[in-house]
Amino acid sequence: MPAGLKPDRPAAARRRRPGAAPYVLLAPSVAYLVVFFIVPLLQGLRLAFTGQDGQWGLSTVHGLLNDPGFWSSVWNTLIMLAIILPVQLVLALAMSLLVNAKLRGSGFWFYVYMLPLGISDLTSGIIWYSVFTQQGWLNSVLQDLGIIHQPFIWLSYQHQLLIIATIVVAEAWRSTSIIVIILVGGLQAIPREYSEAADVFYASPWQKLWHVTLPLLRPTLRTALILRTVLAFEVFATVIALAGSSLSVLATKANNAYTQYQEPHLAAAYGILIMLLSLVSTALFLVMLPVRTEQAS
């Protein structure tokens, strides 16, 4: 039975001390990351708290907060996340439920829904730019259908909300598979009995979804949301392709600071902010969707 639905175990069994076992199992991953990532990361972090002259201080943080476009990039990042996550969740749920419904050829549907998993955000930026650009696919189709008589500029800097919408579309297309693949795994783990029990009580499909499937999916949903959120913070190639200089998100700010303006201190400061936001959202998910772990003996 999935965690969360099991009848409570005796308190004593749950609170047995785990001993050294978990730490031993974790050690290789910690060691590996310390060597290959944490050490360079610390050097990067140091950049954020030293000024251009190499002295420790908050001058870079100061520079960050006063960077033109800083607040709007924070705002854009959060807005996009707030829109993309629900859209993707709904899409992914639809896809995974369809795959799980044992339709004819569910293997084929699954394969198709999985395909965007192989697409990087760079490729996605190229595809969707070619769709939304002024002389691109969307306008071509609309003009051929007679809906417009002149190309419409979807990516104009004057229509920031429209640009955000195109980014949402591009991201929803590209990275929903990540959620689908995790949800399908979770759905498969739900034993048939629950669904059959609900049928016994003449539950409608929506009731089954809301009261049976989704609660059972909670741990899977949590994983998918954490994964997707952290990845969302690092996506910038799509944003640069579609928005250019018109609007920024934190990831593009960090990247531009480093590659265009050769300001590693500022870039590191943006990087830390992104990390913090990532941390906060992970913590939020861990708290809002708690999952009772089955304690090993």
Partner 1 sequence: MKARAFGKYAGAVILAVWVLFPMYLLTAGAFSTQNGVYQYPKSLWPDWSTGTMRFFWDSVGVPAALGRSVIVAAITVALSMLIGTPAGYAIARYRFRGRNPYQMSIVSTRAFPVVVLSIPLAVFFLQWGIYDTVWAVALMHTALVLPFVVLITSSVLAGIPVDLEEAAQVFGCGRPGAFWRVVLPLALPGLAAAASFAVLMSYNEVFAASILTIERPTLPALVLNALSASPDPYKFAAAWLLMIPTFVFIFIMRRYILGFGVERRG
Partner 2 sequence: MDGGSARDRDGKISRRGVLRLGAAAGAGAAAAGLLSACGSGGSTGGGGGGGGNLIFLSDQLSTTVETAAMRSKILSGFKSSGVSFTSFADTTQFVDQVIAQAKAGAGTLDLIGGLQGDFVALEAQIPLRDMSDVIGELKDRNFPQAYLDLAKIKGAYRFVPWITATYLMVANKKALAHLPSGADVNTLTYDQLLAWGQALKSATGQQLIGFPASPTGLIKRFFQGYAYPSFTGGLNTTFKSQAAVTMWQYFKQLWAVTNPQSPTYAMMDEPLLSGEVWVAWDHAVRLSNALQQQPDNFVVFPAPSGPKGLGYEPVLGGLAIPTTSKRVTQAKSLISYLAQQQTQATMLNAESWFPPVGASALPSSLAPGVSAEAKAIDATTGAPGALASQLPVGLGAQSATYDKAFVDAFTAIALNGAPIPATLAAEATTLQSVLQQAGAACWKPDPASTGVCQVG
Q: Which residues contact 246 (CB under 8 A, 6 or more apart)?
A: 155, 156, 157, 160, 163
Q: To the nearest whole angstrom, how small is the minimum distance from the Cβ of residue 60 to partner 2?
A: 13
The residue (of 158 and 297) whose beta carbon lies closer to partner 2 is 158
Q: Would you give the binding string for partner 2 spanning residues 255-294, x where CB under 8 A is met? A: -x-xxxxxx-------------------------------
What does 155 interact with, of partner 2, partner 1, none (CB < 5 to 8 A by kind)? partner 2
Distance CA 1, CA 191 (A): 8
Q: Are 64 and 273 in contact (CB under 8 A)?
A: yes
What does 110 interact with, of partner 2, partner 1, none (CB < 5 to 8 A by kind)? partner 1
Q: Tokens 């531009």 identify what position?
A: 256
Q: To the nearest whole angstrom, how small is the minimum distance from the Cβ of residue 209 to partner 1?
A: 13
Structure tokens at 10: 């005796």
Note the Cα 269 to chain centre separation in Å: 21
Among 110, 129, 173, 233, binds partner 2 (CB under 8 A): 129
- Phi/psi for 56 (5° steps) reads -65, 145
Q: To the nearest whole angstrom, how small is the minimum distance from the Cβ of residue 245 to partner 2?
A: 4
The reply to whether 200 sits near partner 1 by the rule CB under 8 A is: no
Q: Which residues contact 250 (CB under 8 A, 6 or more apart)?
A: 73, 74, 77, 233, 270, 273, 274, 277
Question: Minimal CA–CA distance to 250: which of 271, 227, 228?
Answer: 271
What does 40 interact with, of partner 2, partner 1, none (CB < 5 to 8 A by kind)? partner 1
Question: Which residues, numbered 24-83, are part of the site for partner 1 (CB under 8 A)?
Answer: 25-26, 28-30, 32-33, 36-41, 43-44, 47
